[in-house]
Structure 1
Amino acid sequence: MDTATEFGRLLGPLRRAVLRTRRLEGLPDLPEAQIELLRVLADSGPLSPSDAAARLNAAPSTVSNLVRTMTAAGLVERTPSATNLRTVQLTASPRALVMLERYDRISTAALRQALDNLRPDSRRVIDQALPALAELLAGLEAAGPGGKG
């Protein structure tokens, strides 16, 4: 068994299973990139678009497109920067913060229930794997788009 191949094959179905729980609760079907931007803005407070792009490891043009769509949907607010009049500060709207909290609550409840239904030894293995998964994520983020660190 090749761990990378098997793990990669599980990631998409796991993500979709969590997303289904959100849809069943009647939450809007936001793309994961929008949720990630909202999460960064909720955690960091106001950010410039370039700072948001850096935190997401995304191209500035990608963040610009996300912001345009999300501003039109009332999820992101743009305010002129107090220090640089050529840029803006981005914040998650109050509506977006409520939605993000609901997404997290529903996703966490679904994951908790699924974890609670596992055999105790399987649950222990997942619990013990969490630090390694965080390390894997850090390694992937450090490697960047080309896959080399």
Structure 2
Amino acid sequence: MDSSSADTGHVALELGRLLGPLRRAVLRATRNAEGLPDLPEAQIELLRTLSAAPDGLAPREAAARLRIAPSTVSNLVRTMTAAGLVERMSHPHDLRTVTLTASDKARELLARYDSASTAALAEASAELPAEDRATLAAAMPALDRLLLTVERQTSTVARRSAGQGGRGASAG
């Protein structure tokens, strides 16, 4: 293994080790700062997806955008509808067709989550040395590209698995 491969492997290992705990720490800080409800991350992601679709989404489309199983979306929607976070609207001409939208309550919660999350990250970042803040800022475009690459690779694997009758495909 050459040093470039070793460096790539080390960076991948460290990213994998840090991203989950960082995401959870920011979520905890966000909830604590604003006294926000303990919504599971999966619910927050579904709310973000629905909020980004002004006309709402069919459950299957929401599942596709989140890259999770439709049954997972159904379970999330059941819980979130009961909590007043998701609204289900039947199509006027086909009652089997449902559109999901984020409720006003959910949109307000998301705005509070985003505001508190930004504040928590800004406060923590302010305690870092200027060089670390500059390094983080410079890394943003690379992290965006990494996200797009991982999503593209995941889509390619999913299409390949679907073409093989679903063998090896993950449900979510």
Per the normalisation by structure 2, the TM-score is: 0.79
Distance 2:101 2:11 in 1: 39
Per the normalisation by structure 1, the TM-score is: 0.91
Match of 1:101 in 2: 111
Give the deviation of 1:10 after TM superposition: 0.7
Match of 1:64 in 2: 74
Distance 1:20 1:32 in 2: 11
- Given the alignment, which residue of 73, 83, 89 partners 1:73? 83
Larger radius of gyration: 2
Give the 5 Å matches for 1:1-149: 2-24=10-32, 25-45=34-54, 46-82=56-92, 84-144=94-154
Distance 2:157 2:12 in 1: 13
Unaligned runs of 5+ in 1: none
Equivalent AA in structure 2 for residue 100 of structure 1: L
Q: Deviations over 1:48-75 (max 9, x none)?
A: 1111111111111111111111111111
Is the contact between residue 140 and residue 147 of structure 1 (CA under 8 Å) also seen in structure 2? Answer: no
Query: Identity over the aligned pairs, expressed in percent?
Result: 58
Measured on the aligned residues, the alpha-carbon RMSD in Å equals 2.0
Number of positions where the alignment pairs a residue of Structure 1 with one of Structure 2? 149
SS in 2 for 1:90: strand
SS in 1 for 2:52: helix
Give the deviation of 1:85 after TM superposition: 3.1
Distance 1:136 1:41 in 2: 24
Give the deviation of 1:96 after TM superposition: 0.8
Unaligned runs of 5+ in 2: 1-6, 161-172
Equivalent AA in structure 2 for residue 34 of structure 1: Q
